[in-house]
Structure 1
Amino acid sequence: MRDGDDVMAVIARAVREVEAAVGRGRVTPAVRTKFQVVALLVREEHARVRAEQTSSSTERAERLKRLDGIATILAKTAVRDPALLALLAEDAVVSDAARSLKRDMLSDAGIESPPDEVAPPDRAAAAAPPERRVVPQSVVSRQLANPFLAPDFSAAPPPQARPRRLAGWELLGPLLSSFERAGGGASACMALPAPSSRPVPGGRELMPHQAQVVAAAAAGHRTFLLADEPGLGKTAQALLAAEAVNAYPLLVVVPNVVKTNWAREAGLWTPHRSATVVHGDGETVDGFADIVVVNYEVLDRHVGWFGDFGFRGMVVDEAHFIKNKTSQRSQHVLELSDRIRSRTARPLLMALTGTPLINDIEDFRAIWQFLGWIDEAKPLGELMESLEETGLTPADPGFYPAARACVIDRGIVRRRKVDVAADIPARRIADLPVELDEKAGRSIRAAEQDLARRMVRRYETALANRSSDVVVEGIDRELVRRVARAELKDATATQSGENVFSMMRRIGQAKAGPAADYAAQLARSAGKVVFFAKHVDVMDAAEDVFDRNGIRYSSIRGDQTPGSRQRNIDAFVKDPGVAVAVCSLTAAGVGLNLQVASNIVLAELSWTDAEQTQAIDRSHRIGQTEPVTAWRIIAAQTIDSRIAELIDSKAGLAARALDGSDEEVPSSADVQHEALVALLTDALSASQ
Structure 2
Amino acid sequence: MGKNLYGTTWWGQRWLNALSGIDFANRIPRGMTYANTGKVYQLTIDPARALIKARVQGNYDPFYSVKIELPRFTENEKKALLDEIAKSPVILAKLSARELAPEIENVAEQIGIRIFPHKWDDLKLKCSCPDYAVPCKHIAAVIYKFSQEIDANPFILFELKGLDIVAELAKKKIDIEQVEQTEMPTWKEILEQKGGDSESSLEDLKQATFTEIPPLLDSVIGLFKPSPAGFVEGELREKMKKIIERAGKLVDRQLKDKTDRDPPVHNEKQPILIFDSWGRGHFDSSLAWVTHSVDNNGEPEVIRPFDPANEKYEGAGFHEMFSGSLDSKKIEYAPYEIEALYYAWLIAGKLVKHGAILPQIYQPIEDFFTIRWIPAVISDEIRKLVNEVGRAFLSFPDSMIRIDRRPETINSFVLGEMILGIFIESYIITAFINTATTKSEDLPLEISALFLRKCIDIDEHIAGERVKLGLESWIAPIYLQNLKVLPVIILEDKTQKSDYRLDDIIDDVRGVRGDDDAVYVDAAIAEEDEAFTAPVVKEEALAPAKNTKRRQNLFDNTEGVQITMGFNRLDKKGVPEDTFIPLTDIISKKEFQKIKFECLRTVARLSSVCPVLTELLEKKNGIGMIALDSLADIILSTIPAMRLLGVKLIVPKSLKRVLYPKSAMTVGLSKPWDESTGYLGISALLDFHWDLALGNNPISETDFHELLKHEGKVVRFGNSFVYVDPQITSRIAKKLQLSVATPSKQRLMAAALTGRFGTNNVQITQELQDCLKRILSEKSIEVPSTLNAQLRPYQQRGYSWLIRNLRTMMGSIIADDMGLGKTLQVITAIEKLRYDKELENKQVLVVVPTSLVINWNREIAKFAPKLTCNTYYQERDLSVPAHVIITTYGVLRNDLKKFMKLNLRLIVIDEAQAIKNVKSQVFKAVRAIKADSMIAMSGTPVENRLLEYWSIMDFTNPGLLGSSDTFRREFANPIEKERDPEVLKSFRRVTAPFIMRRLKTDKSVIDDLPDKITVDKYCTLTPQQVALYQKKVDETMRIMKIIGKKERSAIVLTLIQSLKQICNAPAQFSKEDQYQEAKYSGKMQVLFDLLEDFHENNRKTLIFTQFKTMGDLLQKWIADQTGFKPQFIHGGINSTERGRMVDRFQNRRDEQCMILSLKAAGTGLNLTAASSVIHYDLWWNPAVESQATDRAYRIGQKNNVQVYRMICANTFEEKINDIINSKKELADLTVNVGEKWIGDLSNRQIEEIFSLSDD
TM-score range normalised by the length of the shorter chain = 0.5 to 0.7
Equivalent-residue separation in structure 2 for 1:26 and 1:272 (angstroms): 57
What displacement does 1:230 show? 1.2
Residues in 2 aligned to 1:547 and 1:200: alpha-carbon distance in whole angstroms: 47
The aligned residue for residue 864 of structure 2 is 270
Q: Could you say if the C-alpha distance between residues 524 and 371 of structure 1 is closer, same or farther in structure 2, counting changes exceeding 3 Å?
A: same
Taking the aligned partners of 1:217 and 1:668, their CA distance within structure 2 comes to 44
Alignment map for 1:202-213 (pairs within 5 Å): 202-213=787-798
Q: Is 1:411 equivalent to 2:1004 in the alignment?
A: no
Per-residue deviation, 1:437: 0.6
Distance 1:588 1:676 in 2: 35
Contact in 2 for aligned 1:192/1:212 (Cα 8 Å): no
Shift of 1:284: 4.9
Identify if the C-alpha distance between structure 1 residues 411 and 19 changes in structure 2 by more than 3 Å, giving closer, same or farther: closer
CA distance in 2: counterparts of 1:313 and 1:225, whole angstroms = 13
Give how far 1:453 is off.
4.1
Paired residues of 1:21 and 1:31 also in contact (CA < 8 A): no
The DSSP-based 3-state class of the residue aligned with 2:895 is helix
Aligned equivalents of 1:442, 1:250: Cα separation in 2: 34
Paired residues for 1:102-501 under 5 Å: 158=681, 160=684, 162=686, 164=688, 193=778, 195-219=780-804, 220=807, 222-245=810-833, 246=838, 248-280=842-874, 282-285=875-878, 287-336=880-929, 339-340=930-931, 347-374=932-959, 377=962, 401-416=985-1000, 419=1003, 420-458=1005-1043, 483=1045, 486-490=1047-1051, 499-501=1055-1057
Gaps of 5+ in 2: 1-258, 265-287, 302-324, 331-676, 691-739, 757-774, 972-979, 1066-1080
More helix by share: 1
Query: Are the aligned partners of 1:647 and 1:671 in contact in 2 as well (CA < 8 Å)?
Result: no
Selected match of 1:528 from 1100, 1103, 1128: 1100
What is the Cα deviation at residue 197 of structure 1? 4.1
Q: Deviations over 1:78-135 (max 9, x none)?
A: x965999xxxxxxxxxxxxxxxxxxxxxxxxxxxxxxxxxxxxxxxxxxxxxxxxxxx
Aligned partner of 2:1246 in structure 1 is: 680
Q: Which has the higher strand share?
A: 2
Question: What corresponds to 2:1061 in structure 1?
Answer: 505
2:1156 is the counterpart of 1:583: yes
CA contact (8 A) 1:607 1:671 kept: no
Contact 2:1036–2:1051, Cα closer than 8 Å, also in 1: no
Aligned partners of 1:309, 1:359: CA distance in 2, in Å?
A: 34
* TM norm structure 2: 0.35
Q: Specify the alignment match of 2:1169 in structure 1.
A: 596
Instruction: Say whether 1:560 aligns with 2:1133.
Output: yes
Residue 667 in 1 paired to residue 1233 in 2? Answer: yes
**Sequence identity percentage:** 22
Shift of 1:436: 0.7
Alignment partners' CA distance in 1, 2:881 and 2:813: 28
CA shift, 1:290, in A, is: 1.6
Contact (CA 8 Å) 2:261, 2:326: kept in 1 or not? no
**1:549 aligns to what SS in structure 2?**
helix
Query: Match of 1:201, SS?
Result: coil
Counterpart residue identity of residue 818, structure 2: P
User: Corresponding residue for 2:404?
Assistant: none
Cα gap change, 1:32/1:618 in structure 2, threshold over 3 Å: closer, same or farther?
farther
Contact kept, 8 Å, 1:512 with 1:542, in 2: the verdict is no
How far does the alpha carbon of each residue in 1:421-440 deviate from its partner, in whole angstroms, 9 at most, with x for none? 33232223211111111121
Task: Work out the CA distance in 1 between the residues paired with 2:1156 and 2:820.
Answer: 25
Decide whether the 8 Å contact of 2:844 with 2:907 is kept in 1: yes
Residues 198-222 of structure 1 show CA distances to partners (whole Å, capped at 9, x for unaligned) of 3442532222221212222333354
Helix, strand or coil for the counterpart of 2:1149?
A: coil
TM-score (norm 1): 0.62
What residue is the counterpart of 1:519 in the other structure? 1090
Q: Which range moves more in the overlay, 247-256 or 316-325?
A: 247-256
Change (3 A) 1:591 1:515: farther
Q: Please report how far the alpha carbon of residue 616 of structure 1 lies from its aligned counterpart in structure 2 after TM superposition.
A: 1.2
Mapped to 1, the partners of 2:817 and 2:1035 lie a distance apart of 43
Residues 21/215 of structure 1: CA separation in 2 closer, same or farther (3 Å cut):
closer
CA apart distance, 1:447: 1.9
How many angstroms apart in 2 are the aligned matches of 1:669 and 1:682?
16
Counterpart Cα distance in 2 of 1:224 and 1:571? 41
Q: Distance in 2 between matches of 1:397 and 1:665?
A: 56
Q: Contact 1:608 / 1:671 at 8 angstroms: preserved in 2?
A: no
**Cα 1:449–1:539 shift into 2, 3 Å:** same
1:612-666 C-alpha deviation (Å, 9 max, x unpaired)? 11111111111222322211111111111123234546776677xxxxxxx8952
Contact conserved, 2:814 with 2:935, CA < 8 A, in 1? yes
Change (3 A) 1:425 1:445: farther
CA contact (8 A) 1:519 1:531 kept: no
SS in 2 for 1:321: helix
Q: Which amino acid aligns with 2:1064?
A: G
- Bigger relative CO (Cα 8 Å, ≥ 6 apart): 1
Farther-moved stretch of structure 1 (396-405 vs 369-378)? 396-405
Residue equivalent to 2:605: none
- The alpha-carbon deviation at position 602 of structure 1 amounts to 1.1
- Indicate conservation of the 8 Å contact 1:227/1:415, yes or no: no
* CA-CA distance at 1:512 after TM superposition: 4.4
> 3-state SS of the aligned residue for 2:1122?
coil
Which range moved further: 314-323 or 504-513? 504-513
Secondary structure, counterpart of 2:881 in structure 1 = coil
Tell me: CA distance 1:251–1:451, structure 2 relative to 1, closer, same or farther (3 Å).
same
Give, in whole Å, the separation in 2 of the partners of 1:442 and 1:33. Answer: 47
Structure 1 residues 421 and 399: CA distance shift in structure 2, 3 A: closer
Q: Secondary structure at the match of 1:366?
A: helix
Q: Distance in 2 between matches of 1:366 and 1:278?
A: 25
In structure 1, C-alpha distance between the alignment counterparts of 2:883 and 2:296, rounded to whole Å: 43
Structure 2 letter corresponding to 1:631: Y
State the Cα RMSD in Å. Answer: 4.4
CA distance in 2, matches of 1:32, 1:234: 46
Which residue identity does 2:1118 align to in structure 1? F
**How does 1:8-47 map onto structure 2 within 5 Å?**
none
Deviation string for 1:487-534 (max 9, x for gaps)?
113566xxxxx6222222222224541343133233223321211112
CA change 1:534–1:21 in 2 (3 A) is closer
SS at match of 2:1016: strand
Q: Give structure 1 stretches of 5+ with no counterpart.
A: 1-17, 40-78, 85-153, 179-189, 341-346, 388-395, 463-482, 493-497, 656-662
